[in-house]
Structure formats: structure tokens, C-alpha cells
Amino acid sequence: MRTHVWRFDVEWPHCDAAGIVFYPNFYIWFDMASGRLFKANRLSYPELKRDFGILGMPLLETGAKYENPCRLDDTVELTSWVDEWSGRTFLVKHKLVHADGRPAMEGFERRALIKEAPGTARGVAAVAAPLELKARFSV
């Protein structure tokens, strides 16, 4: 299983008036980390479309468990990986830790891969991940 690690500093726009990260920003970071994880495995959005006809990876479910707050100027490290491929969905997990090793939080995103589906009500449909796509995440 391949992981992606993103190290960054908490900045002023991430925080509330008390200098603590405003919780929606964790979900923005999750979304960014998922994109970075796929891109690091040669699966950027243009590559997904070119190689597999995949239009996107919409969210179906998200969640997070908070342990230690993140504050202005903290350095944090966000590790992300695909934890499970299941039918037409997949689970991305995220673990955020402080530079000193204290756990900050853990979270997840359940996503689907979608392709064009002419003649359907929405015009798109979820599809199972092709074996070649999953293989790009193998060590």
C-alpha cells in the first residue's frame, strides 16, 4: 500500500479567532491530500480521464476523530492512503500528527469513481476501480 505524506504549517486563514484550526479546514485538507495521493500514483484528474475514462471521485461519506488541537504556526504531517477498494467505492484514510509526534486527528473519505453514462438520469455512473488503477497503489 502506498501512502502520501504532506507536511505543512497551520496558517492564519486556517484558524478561528482563538488560533485553533476551524474544523471545515480539516476536510479541505483531506480533499487536497486525496488529490495529492492519486497524483503521486500517476492518477491526476487528467490521467484518470485519459487512462480510464474516469471523470471524478465524488464524496459519499466523510468523518473525523479529533485528539489534539492544531493551532496557528503548528507544523503538521498528513498521511493518506487508500485503505479499501470495495465494489464501486473506495476508502481513503487520513492521519494528521503534530511535528512532535502527538496525534492530532484521524479521518476518512468514502468516494466513488464515476464515468459518463449517457441515457441515465444523471449522465454519470459509479464504476468499479479497474485492476490497473488499483495496481498503481501497490508497493
Q: What is the pLDDT of residues 36-81, one digit of tens each?
A: 999 999 999 999 999 999 999 999 999 999 999 999 999 999 999 9
> Domain map of the chain by residue range?
3-135
Which bin fits 119, alpha (ψ -120 to 50), beta or left (φ > 0)?
A: left
CATH architecture of residue range(s) 3-135: Roll (3.10)
Q: Tell if the pTM clears 0.85, that is, is over it.
A: yes
Which bin fits 47, alpha (ψ -120 to 50), beta or left (φ > 0)?
A: alpha
Q: What is the mean pLDDT of the chain?
A: 96
Q: Which residues of 45-64 are buried (b: 16+ CB within 10 A; e: fewer)?
A: eebbeeebebbebeeeebee
| Res. 139 pLDDT band, cuts 50 70 90 | low
Local structure of residue 26 (DSSP, 8 states): H
Strands 75-86 vs 124-127: parallel, antiparallel or unpaired: unpaired
Q: Are the C-beta atoms of residues 32 and 42 closer than 8 Å to each other?
A: no
| 3-class secondary structure per residue, 80-138 | EEEEEEECCEEEEEEEEEECCCCEEEEEEEEEEEEEECCCCCCCEEEECCCHHHHHCCC
